[in-house]
Amino acid sequence: MIRHFLWVVLCGICTTAGLSQKIISPNDSLTFWSDVMFNVHDPSNRELAAVHTDDLMYRLLRDGQLDMSRLNPNIIRLELPHYNSHLFTWQCEKNNQYDYFGYYVDSLRNIVRFHREPRQYDRIRNEQFDTDHWYGAVYYHVLPYTFGEESYCVLFGFAQNELKEKFRIIEIMDLHKGIVRFGIPVLKLKDEEGEEFTAQRQVVRYSSSANCVLRFEPDDHMIVYDHIITFEDPMAPGVSNMLPDGSYEAFQYQNGKWNYISKLQTEIQNSAPREKPILNQKKDLFGRDKKG
């Protein structure tokens, strides 16, 4: 199957080149392979495409030749304006397993590649990671502020696992002296006994059929996210879903600290909210309409 796929690809490329006399550039190749990685159904072809996409991204970033205007929208680029640097992350599905790729590029075009070390996402709140031992996520938003004299960035991330669970991640990425570290202890939380502790990041787990709000309120210097509870499906006894209940948790930045607020809204729904998938065959990773 894969040999047939490659033969079709090569024939198509050669035919196009022969007709137009146009040399296929690395950016052309990246456009092709990233589209295969995100859209074809066969897992082996997606896996092959992921290897090519990663290699091409590295080469284009290294040579300063990446055409941002042609970058696949599922490869998320974040600009870190206070550091004149960029962050690139993306996700690839392989047989219901999810792999993650990432690069950090500084102002001098030094490139740091992230090497993934798969972890259980709901157990990483109190761990620090470097780029050689990265848990893996797609970072899709960076707060447009610095916080005091600290050298960290606050990122919003997304991840999935093979158990059909999704995760929203509030990540604290440190860039001190150009060294990338994930997980700086600045988030004040409370455990089940109400005791306060400082976490490296916050991870919100929810069911694949649900959505989870994670946003920043600049006027209040506040990160707001859904409070998730477990509902048992009345139509399927023993089957539980992790869904928002209509209330919110938050972190508010005050006096140099991110202080935890356990509940912003007291009104809670009496029944589970309707499950509404944000991903389908016509949507991309973040629920946007696919092109074509």
pLDDT digits (tens, 9 = 90+) for 80-113: 978 889 999 999 998 889 999 999 999 899 999 9
What's the pLDDT score for residue 277?
A: 38
Concatenated DSSP letters for 47-81? HHHHHHHHHHHHHHHHHT---GGGS-TTSEEEEET
Question: In Å, how far from its chain's centre is CA 83?
Answer: 20
**Which of 125, 85, 102, 120 minimizes the C-alpha distance to 251?**
125
Least confident of 31-40, 108-117, 209-218, 262-271: 262-271
163-195 per-position pLDDT tens digit: 989 999 999 999 888 899 999 999 998 887 888
pLDDT classification of 21: cutoffs 50, 70, 90: low
Sheet holding 240-254, edge to edge: 196-199, 187-190, 257-261, 240-254, 222-232, 214-217
What's the pLDDT score for residue 19?
A: 39
pLDDT classification of 149: cutoffs 50, 70, 90: low
What's the pLDDT score for residue 240?
A: 85
* In the predicted structure, residue 2 carries a pLDDT above the cut 70: no
231-286 per-position pLDDT tens digit: 887 777 778 899 999 999 999 998 888 999 999 854 544 444 444 333 444 444 44
What's the pLDDT score for residue 83?
A: 82
**236 near 229, Cβ under 8 Å?**
no
Concatenated DSSP letters for 185-212? S-EEEE-TTS-EEEES-EEEEEETTS--
- Report the percentage of the chain scoring pLDDT > 90: 65
* In the predicted structure, residue 18 carries a pLDDT above the cut 90: no
pLDDT classification of 49: cutoffs 50, 70, 90: very high
Q: For residue 9, give Cα distances in angstroms to 18, 38, 40.
A: 14, 16, 13
**222 near 250, Cβ under 8 Å?**
yes
Local structure of residue 143 (DSSP, 8 states)? -
